[in-house]
Amino acid sequence: MKKKYILWSALCSMLALASCESVLDKTDLGGASPDLISGDSVLANIALNYVYNQNLPSWGGVTDVTGLGGSVYSEESFNQGSSANKYLEGTITATDVTDFGTSLNATNNYGKIRTINSFIYDLGSDKLMDNGARNRLLAQAYFFRAWRYFELVKLYGGVPLVLTPQDAVGDEAREATFIPRNTTTQCYAQMSADLDTAIKYLPSVWSLPNTNWGRITKGAAAALKGRISMYAASPQFNPNDVAAKWQTAYDANKQAFDILTASGAKLFADYGKMWFTEVGNTEAVFITGFNNSQGDQQRRNNGWEASTRPRYATGSGGGSNIPSWDLVKAYPMKDGKKPGVSSKYTYSDQLFYKDRDPRFEKTIAYNGCTWPMTNVTNNRLWTYIQLNNQNRYISVENGSVNISNTGFYCRKALQTSDVATSPVDASNTIYSGTDWMEIRFAEVLLNLAEAATGVGRLDEAYTQLKAVRARAGIEAGTDGLYGLKANMTRAEMFTAILDERQVEFAFEGKRFWDLRRWKLLEKTFNGSKGTKVEIRLKTTGVPVDFAATRDGMKLDDVYTNYLTVVLTPNGLMSRPAIAWKPEYYFFPIPTGALNNNPLIIQNNTWGGSFDPLQ
């Protein structure tokens, strides 16, 4: 019974919230045991819901403990301000990356794995439950075990594979929990095996879609396997470009594509509004569901709205996830060509917003743009700076208090008047119920494109890239290539895909991990602080009533006649320039974990002998 303790005590907590009738009204929940739910798929589902609750990812795709992977770890935002960032400053120690776990804790990675293993162990021995129901329940648990191990392996390389719940009472039991690290290859094989089981037994589409919205499907399991296989094939884990790893990645991602398209998955028509359709969203593959009902007993609210909107528009917090000038420059023009390369659309820093990829307007809020964030249809955002009486530049935004450090805001997945079901203002942004799409169909397409490139199927890569660009609204051009270079080499196609991912998934927690798995962080960042941009109001020739009349002016006229865009090589950060270190491609096992388990060996780039490439 020791092995079952975590699962069934967790079940009791879930049951206490469920307000179910019949047997639960007549049973002492504090004394619940596996026998209580034997053969009962409804109660087993309640226990599985606890697994979901523990393991579903948060907004932004960051890791659970350190929060690693958000926009501040890449050029999306560049950690604006003076806050320290050890990862970018090159000052990580062996005690900093603690996702491995350094103590007995039900909420760290291995604590969550134990709960999953307990569920699998107990349900697997239940002979009373219908086989189909049991297999579907187990398949979802196998998915999350693969997810949990993936979060570990992408940080450290191989980790100990614990596949059964361990007893930890008494010296003998404690010593039995001392197991060494498995190789990275063994970990990838186990994740694939778990996901193969999930693919085998999960439905492509759940019945009762309203009730089962957010449950893992066959396609979600295949898509996660495709993502994991992409990591295994990428330079971080495949520095010698082994062809077999790319073939494995291609096969997995092609399977995911085939399963999902057969079940109706496709790109959502409107890039800007895809976050606001929940049940039946064709883009959604692996999601975390949120709700905004203040009366819900188990209310689950995401903080994206409150943290991302301008601080003065939320009442508190806000102003996070601010785009950098580097991200602004990353977007192509309407014809899909890079700024300065397009022969159809002229680019200038002065009119940086003009004729850009439509995803630009749907992701980045900039000085002078129309942004109905307060349910005012024609609301204009002004963030330029002007000289005050002390001859100092201050922002006109909110009286220069609680303003963006860059002059930009992220507007992706923020509700506006044309999608909101109730006024979006300071009083309700904390109750945002917008779901997080950890994997959406666009990623499946770009993963397939990348894997196809890895095995030399460049025509297939073109097909997927063009589909993503066509949905974005980029012009096809006379050659039908949506701005892509014709006859790209394998290396050029890999670069094109990474560039596409940068703008398609901006602020979705993908960029840092993409640069890390491609070992491009030093090349991209080192020695840089990013670029500072200031949009200044001219000191002469500006109408005295400019502030009162600017909303009615054409934006091009405002920028051309009254504003100056000034760029400097110095970033806004007061911290040192970025100094990512090569050893960070596999982080150190935390010292506490090494002390707790004498069989754990440190990575060879951190003073140990464990090779994470094996």
Token pair recorded at residue 395: 């922002």
Taking the chain (614 residues) in consecutive chunks of 10 residues, what is each chunk's mean pLDDT?
34 38 30 52 88 90 77 82 78 90 83 94 85 95 98 96 81 76 98 98 94 95 98 98 98 98 98 93 94 61 83 72 93 97 96 98 96 78 92 90 89 77 51 88 98 98 98 98 98 98 97 96 83 92 96 97 88 70 95 92 97 98
Alpha carbon distance 400, 385 (integer Å):
9
Instruction: Give residue 386's pLDDT.
Output: 95
Distance of CA 260 to the CA centre of its chain: 20
Let me know: does 327 contact 75? Beta carbons within 8 Å: yes
Let me know: does 180 contact 600? Beta carbons within 8 Å: yes
CB within 8 A of 11, min separation 6: which ones?
Answer: 32, 37, 43, 46, 47, 50
Instruction: Give residue 26's pLDDT.
Output: 30
Let me know: does 378 contact 421? Beta carbons within 8 Å: no
Question: Hey, how many other C-beta atoms are within 10 angstroms of the C-beta on 226?
Answer: 27
Neighbour-count burial of 230, counting CB atoms closer than 10 A to its CB (0-12 exposed, 13-18 middle, 19+ buried): buried
Instruction: Give residue 316's pLDDT.
Output: 62
Distance of CA 429 to the CA centre of its chain: 21
Instruction: Give residue 175's pLDDT.
Output: 72
Provide the 3-class DSSP secondary structure of residue 439.
strand
- Of 40, 38, 44, give the one whose Cα is nearest residue 14: 44
Distance of CA 426 to the CA centre of its chain: 25
- Tokens 């044309």 correspond to 418
**pTM (global) more than 0.85:** yes
Alpha carbon distance 434, 110 (integer Å):
29
**DSSP state letter for 375:** S
Token pair recorded at residue 293: 């009902």
Residue ranges covered by each domain of the chain: 1-64+100-202+590-614, 307-430+532-568
Residues facing 387 on adjacent strands: 393
Instruction: Give residue 431's pLDDT.
Output: 60
Give a three-class secondary structure readout of 31-85: HCCHHHHCCCHHHHHHHHHHHHHHHCCCCCCCCCCCCCCCHHHCCCCCCCCCCCC
For the chain, the straight-line distance linking the first and the last C-alpha, in angstroms and rounded, comes to 37
Alpha carbon distance 349, 328 (integer Å):
10
Half-sphere exposure of 373 (CA within 13 A, CB side): 27
- Tokens 């349900």 correspond to 123
Strands of 143-283, DSSP E: none
- Of 436, 432, 450, give the one whose Cα is nearest residue 507: 436
Instruction: Give residue 314's pLDDT.
Output: 67
Instruction: Give residue 456's pLDDT.
Output: 98
Token pair recorded at residue 278: 């929940």
Provide the 3-class DSSP secondary structure of residue 244.
helix
Q: Which fold has domain 1-64+100-202+590-614?
A: 1.25.40
Alpha carbon distance 465, 276 (integer Å):
24
